[in-house]
Each structure stands twice: as structure tokens, then as C-alpha cells.
């Protein structure tokens, strides 16, 4: 039996839900104050003390409501905050948030800057705004005497923006929580450019290739003795990717590429040396692959490896691919959660709630949850400019987002 058949509600808000909506409506000033407090604490991923500082601020808010808060250690990073408040007999809800931002202490973008209904600042949308909404929804339930019926655990990731090298290890605590949950709710912000609830996210794999050829004078290129050289071989590979890989929701990018007598590539740069009349003997190139399912990933990976093997004369290519984030496919359970959110919006007279096209959202930690539990994302407030000095959030939308999250948790717990 799916959520769609088990979560049936009569139209309109119940009396307890009207109380939740009213309380959230009166709490905007407190939510803005908490958002400012969290934003003013720098929590760039590599600022371990700063990330922990945000976690401690969250701890001081949640513990008075009866949450047991612990810290999960992660080598090389700040670790993760886990706040637990069980309730016997209710569905187990997992709230997925993160504490870090991309803005390290040396960034000039450091402070909370409100201007009318818009506030700018590092992480105000991604995702301290969503963290505030998750906390405010729990506070709303607590204030109305309804939190005791909610079986909930909040996960605050400390390295969402720049995971530690072994991402499986740093997400192990999240996966363990997902395996004991019934529903997961992600609080990444509602994207103003592509509004709606996220029912699917594409996975990401990083692929790398090195093509080798023979070194020699360019006058002999294409001859049987010299062959085609590494640059033409690399061009063949990536162009054949373009010709043979197309599938719906599959993308494959070449991010870095260098070819010459020498070619050195890192994750952020690629350099080459050589001469215009010298056949390149090495090409190094890499990119990403994004896919909506593990089956699509496997098909694409097999095709790419086969393309790499079919080398031009006088050349060879080595190819490897490694997954970074798993996919979050659009399951029936995810769509049922979206339907429930749409019903809540209708009951709040808050307008339509589309499902976001997976092409327009990147990867997120909810993807590690998806293999184990029904999940949606995008429950944070409206905003945009993520990862830029123009990051912003719509302050008044904190109210609607809090109403939506509190009523959603209440309905899921019934």
C-alpha cells in the first residue's frame, strides 16, 4: 500500500492545523532572527569550528523541546548533528538539512543583509533558510502541543557542499537513519527560478579518460607508422559520446581537457605543453555524467567504456568512472508525498505546487536516502542565487514554508 492510498484527508484544514498555521504566521520575526543568527556564523565546509558553531546554535533550540542531540564525527570535516525525538506508534520522519555553506572565512560575502522582504547572505537560501523552516515547524508543533505525536529525527550534515574524500563513509550516518525511517523530507530551498517540490534528482558520476599516441613530427600524422595522435583520439571519444549516449534526462559533460607532449590535469585545472608541429602523445580529459536511475547510469557507463576501447590507429584510451551521488528516481511514493503537499497548499490557499523537472536541480543528500524511503525535497523557503554573492531568500515565505512543513509532519504522523 502506497502513501497515496494511506494518506487520505478531507478537504480543508483541521482545527489543530488551523492552530499550526496561525502560530507560524505569528512567528515570522522569530524565524528571521534565527536566520540572521545562523547566517552571521560563518560555516564554510572547511571551517570546522564554524560548522560546529551552527550545530551548537541548533542544539540550544532543539534540546528544550525534548530532542536528544548528538554529534557524528567525520574524519577531515566537522561531522554531523543528529537530533532525535521518538514517538511510539507514529511514522518515523527523517528531516534532511545541512549546516555548512560554500563561503569560507576568507570570502567577502559574510553577513545577513535584509532589504524589505528580501535578505541576502551566505547560506540564507542554501540552506540555512531551510534549516530555520525545519526548526520553526518543530517549534510550531511543540507550541500547539502536537510534537509529542511526531516521531522525528533531524540530520544536519556538516559537509554537504564539499564532502570528505570517502563520501560513502561521510554519509554512513545518514544512510543508517534512512534505513529506520518511513518518510524523509529535504529542506533545500524552493528555487524561485524553477519553483516546486523535488520528487526526483539525478545522480552524478565523475568520468576520467587518458588517450595516448605516438610522439613525432606533424608531417607524419595519419600515416601507418605515426597514427592519429592523442588529440584526435580524445576528440573521437568525446564526439562519439555526443552521438551515441542521448537518453531522456541523461547529460554528459566534458569539464576539463588538455592534449600535447605533456598534459597535466587536476580537479580544477588542465595544462599542456608541446609544439604546433608535434603530434600530441597524451590527452587528459574528464567530466561528469548525470542520470535519473542506476539502470541509466549502467547503460551509459557501459557505452562510454566501449567507445573508449575503439581507438583510432596508433592510439589507446583508458577510461574510468566513479559515482559521487546516487540518483533519486521519481517513485510512486515520492509522487504521493508531492500530492500531499499540493493538498496542503490548496487548504492554505497558497497556489499550485508543481514537481520540479530533474534537469533543473543538482544532487543533494536526499539522494543517499532515496534507496530506502519515500522522499521529497525543496521544503525550504523561496530564494535563489545559490553559491553566489547574490544569494537571497524571501523572508515572508518563511511563514508559508513553516506552515507547509508543520502541517505535513502532522498529517504524516496521523
Render pLDDT for 341-373 as a digit per residue (tens, 0 to 9).
999 999 999 999 999 999 998 889 999 999 999
pLDDT number for residue 5 = 35
pLDDT number for residue 38 = 98
Phi, psi (deg, nearest 5) at residue 77 = -140, 175
Whether pLDDT at 189 is above 80: yes
The predicted-structure confidence for 314-326, as pLDDT tens digits, reads as follows 999 999 999 999 9
Q: What is the pLDDT of residues 293-318, one digit of tens each?
A: 999 999 999 999 999 999 999 999 99
What the block records as the C-alpha cell of 337 is 508525498
pLDDT at 263 over 60: yes
Give the residue with greater pLDDT, 116 vs 3. 116
Q: pLDDT for 7-58, tens place per residue?
A: 444 459 999 999 999 999 999 999 999 999 999 999 999 999 999 999 999 9
* CA-wise closest residue to 279 among 226, 224, 235, 238: 226
What is the sign of the dihedral through the CA atoms of 298, 299, 301 and 302?
positive
CATH of 203-325 given 1.10.260.40, 3.40.50.1820, 3.30.70.360, 3.90.1280.10: 3.30.70.360
Taking the C-alpha atoms of residue 123 and residue 135, their distance in angstroms, rounded to an integer, is: 16
pLDDT of residue 15: 97
120, three cell numbers: 541576502
| Domain residue limits, the chain | 3-201+329-413, 203-325
121: phi then psi, degrees, rounded to nearest 5 = 165, 160
Fold of the domain built from segment(s) 3-201+329-413: Aminopeptidase (3.40.630)
With contact defined as beta carbons under 8 Å apart, do 340 and 408 qualify?
Answer: yes
What residues contact 151, with CB distance under 8 A and at least 6 apart?
85, 86, 87, 88, 89, 90, 91, 92, 93, 413
Amino acid at each position: 500500500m502506497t502513501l497515496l492510498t494511506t494518506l487520505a484527508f478531507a478537504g480543508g484544514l483541521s482545527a489543530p492545523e488551523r492552530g499550526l498555521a496561525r502560530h507560524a504566521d505569528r512567528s515570522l520575526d522569530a524565524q528571521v532572527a534565527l536566520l540572521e543568527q545562523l547566517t552571521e556564523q560563518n560555516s564554510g565546509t572547511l571551517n570546522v569550528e564554524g560548522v560546529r558553531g551552527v550545530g551548537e546554535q541548533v542544539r540550544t533550540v532543539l534540546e528544550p523541546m525534548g530532542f536528544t542531540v548528538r554529534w557524528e564525527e567525520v574524519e577531515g570535516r566537522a561531522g554531523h548533528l543528529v537530533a532525535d525525538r521518538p514517538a511510539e506508534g507514529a511514522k518515523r520522519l527523517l528531516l534532511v538539512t545541512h549546516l555548512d555553506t560554500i563561503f569560507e572565512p576568507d570570502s567577502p560575502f559574510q553577513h545577513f543583509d535584509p532589504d524589505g522582504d528580501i535578505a541576502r547572505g551566505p547560506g540564507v537560501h542554501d540552506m540555512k533558510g531551510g534549516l530555520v523552516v525545519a526548526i520553526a515547524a518543530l517549534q510550531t508543533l511543540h507550541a500547539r502541543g502536537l510534537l509529542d505525536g511526531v516521531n522525528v529525527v533531524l540530520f544536519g550534515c556538516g559537509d554537504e557542499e564539499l564532502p570528505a574524500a570517502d563520501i560513502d563513509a561521510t554519509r554512513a550516518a545518514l544512510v543508517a537513519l534512512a534505513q529506520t525511517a518511513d518518510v524523509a523530507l529535504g529542506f533545500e530551498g524552493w528555487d524561485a527560478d524553477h519553483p516546486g517540490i523535488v520528487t526526483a534528482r539525478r545522480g552524478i558520476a565523475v568520468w576520467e579518460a587518458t588517450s595516448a599516441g605516438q610522439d613525432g613530427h606533424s608531417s607524419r600524422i595519419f600515416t601507418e607508422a605515426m597514427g592519429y595522435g592523442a588529440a584526435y583520439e580524445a576528440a573521437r571519444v568525446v564526439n562519439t559520446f555526443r552521438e551515441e549516449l542521448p537518453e531522456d534526462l541523461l547529460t554528459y559533460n566534458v569539464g576539463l581537457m588538455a592534449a600535447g607532449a605533456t598534459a597535466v590535469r587536476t580537479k580544477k585545472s588542465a595544462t599542456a605543453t608541446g609544439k604546433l608541429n608535434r603530434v600530441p602523445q597524451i590527452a587528459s580529459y574528464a567530466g561528469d555524467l548525470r542520470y535519473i536511475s542506476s539502470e541509466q547510469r549502467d547503460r551509459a557507463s557501459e557505452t562510454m567504456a566501449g567507445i573508449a576501447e575503439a581507438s583510432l590507429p596508433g592510439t589507446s584510451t583508458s577510461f574510468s568512472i566513479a559515482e559521487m551521488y546516487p540518483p533519486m528516481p521519481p517513485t510512486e511514493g515520492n509522487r504521493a508525498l508531492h500530492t500531499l503537499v499540493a493538498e496542503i497548499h490548496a487548504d492554505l490557499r497558497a497556489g499550485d505546487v508543481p514537481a520540479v523537472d530533474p534537469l533543473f536541480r543538482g544532487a543533494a543528500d536526499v539522494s543517499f536516502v532515496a534507496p530506502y524511503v519515500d522522499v521529497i525535497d525543496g521544503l525550504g523557503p523561496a530564494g535563489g542565487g545559490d553559491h553566489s554573492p547574490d544569494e537571497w531568500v524571501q523572508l515572508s515565505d518563511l511563514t508559508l514554508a513553516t506552515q507547509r512543513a508543520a502541517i505535513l509532519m502532522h498529517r504524516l504522523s496521523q
